[in-house]
Chains A and B, each alone.
Chain A
Amino acid sequence: DGGITQSPKYLFRKEGQNVTLSCEQNLNHDAMYWYRQDPGQGLRLIYYSQIVNDFQKGDIAEGYSVSREKKESFPLTVTSAQKNPTAFYLCASSILPTGEIFNEQFFGPGTRLTVL
């Protein structure tokens, strides 16, 4: 079945450690996104990528890094520079944006990161 997978589902990290969250999609989508969700809040965009080897910062990119070496994969690294990394992280993908044409984002199941 086509979809987006994220692993792991739960992740625990000690302060000062970098950690990488996986996101893979087999929908043949060009665009991929990472969002952060804090309790009781909506999603905020961290990074997005519209093509392999290219990505742009979203609204809260500080303390995060990404790579896009393959179309199917868009891993997110939470670095030690991220001051408050405990949150729920959601990966999404879509066809390339084309003006007014409707193109929904499909979301993965999410990774819940807790810093101990």
Chain B
Amino acid sequence: AQKITQTQPGMFVQEKEAVTLDCTYDTSDPSYGLFWYKQPSSGEMIFLIYQGSYDQQNATEGRYSLNFQKARKSANLVISASQLGDSAMYFCAMKSGGYNKLIFGAGTRLAVHP
């Protein structure tokens, strides 16, 4: 069965520090994609970063990077130089198989303190 697990219900980080949000996944498909979305209190889902299962390098997008460890089935999100505006829910999601169905984890609530 395909599954995404986010074991950290909540995280705190000091402004300007880096933070890692954990995500582990389970799938038997050799081809899959991993996504991270940010959900502010307003509710919309904002795409942050993507990692394909065959990508050789870890994905990076500005202050976001994905620590992809395929053998461990983990895809942790690293946010560098945290900002107050980073306070939000963060969801890890996976797409596998031929369809574009996304399976989401339960999310991690990040609070950035000044």
Q: Determine whether the beta carbon of B35 is less than 8 Å from that of A104.
A: yes
Count residues on chain B whose CB falls below 8 Å from chain A CBs: 28
- Size category of the A interface is 20 to 34
Q: Which residues of B contact A17 (CB under 8 A)?
A: none
At the interface, yes or no: A8 with Cβ under 8 Å from chain B? Answer: no
Tell me if A1 is interfacial: C-beta within 8 Å of chain B. no
A48 with B45: CB separation less than 8 A: no
A96 neighbours in B (Cβ, 8 Å) = 100
Partner of B43, one of A31, A33, A110: A110
Q: Given contacts A90-B43, A100-B54, A107-B46, could you give 11 more A-B pairs where the C-beta distance is less than 8 Å?
A: A40-B9, A40-B107, A42-B93, A42-B107, A43-B45, A92-B45, A97-B98, A99-B31, A107-B37, A107-B44, A110-B43
Cross-chain pairs A/B with CB under 8 angstroms, 6 sampled = A33-B101, A43-B104, A88-B43, A96-B100, A97-B100, A100-B53
